[in-house]
Structure 1
Amino acid sequence: MFQVSHLHHVAIICSDYSTSKHFYHKILGFEIIRETYREERHSFKLDLKVSDHEQIELFSFPTPPARPSHPEAQGLRHLAFAVTDLEACIKHLKAHQIAVEEIRVDQLTGKRFTFFADPDELPLELYEIV
């Protein structure tokens, strides 16, 4: 049987490496595991720790093609982070001049959530778990 124990990583290709590195490391607070420059690809790869099991891989490439990434576009819809204090997270993001949508309530679970975007307008969600 095919069994998965957990999600290992999500890979993101950014348009401006230093801006995205600052956003994911300094603003969202993900710890840097390792940063590698791959000369042959003119590309950085940054591994960020989300939890003991999950990581974000942040890539830079010289001229990556644009891709639609609105929450309703085909493909990956959004990346959601579980949080225990939604208001504190929203306050932190707003203090860094990051726009945050109004809080919504999941009709199926009754849980509260909101959306914001990374520097490349990739949709990110905060999903409150208590």
Structure 2
Amino acid sequence: MFEVAHVGVVVADADKSLAFYTKVLDCQVEDMYQDERIRLIFIRSGQLTIELIQYTADPAPTRNAGRVDHIAFFVNDLTAEIEKLRQHNIILLFDQPRVVGNKKIMFFVGPDGERLEFVEKI
């Protein structure tokens, strides 16, 4: 079995997305790369690396949505994290958290419309 290296998310503004993922989601910058066609920022959330991809000279200017539906993050206190999202005016996709089996979840929207989820084990 292969280990997942990272999940890539195409963003319109790498600086805006970096601020969101580091300030709102507490991710840490792991690495950066830039050349004339692309800017990459690798951020870490626990064991997961997320690659923020900003194309500066994209040969495919309109990309269709891929198969990745969302990125989920474990949290210890979903209520506190939802309040933090509200303080940052982040769009929540439910009015209230939902219970799914032994988890409480909340979906929300990132700066480029990417679906994100918080998961609290109960």
User: Is this a same-fold pair by TM over 0.5?
Assistant: yes
Residue of structure 2 equivalent to 1:48: 43
Secondary structure at the aligned position of 1:76 is classed as: coil
**1:18 — aligned with what?**
15
| TM-score for both structures, normalised by structure 1 | 0.80
Partner of 1:33: 30
Counterpart residue identity of residue 103, structure 1: P
Q: Distance in 2 between matches of 1:67 and 1:123?
A: 15
**5+ residue gaps, structure 2:** none
Q: State whether structure 2 residue 55 is matched by structure 1 residue 61.
A: yes
Where structure 1 has 5 or more consecutive residues not aligned to the other structure, the ranges are: 69-73
Moved over 2 A (4+): none
Count of aligned pairs between the two proteins:
117
Q: Look up the equivalent residue of 1:8 and give its one-letter code.
A: A
Q: TM-score, normalised by structure 2?
A: 0.84
Matched residue type, 2:79: E
Cα RMSD, aligned residues only: 1.8
Say if 2:112 is the partner of 1:115. no
Partners of 2:117 and 2:84 lie apart in 1 by 14
Could you tell me which amino acid in structure 2 is paired with residue 67 of structure 1?
N
What secondary structure, in the 3-state scheme, does the structure 2 residue paired with 1:12 have? Answer: strand
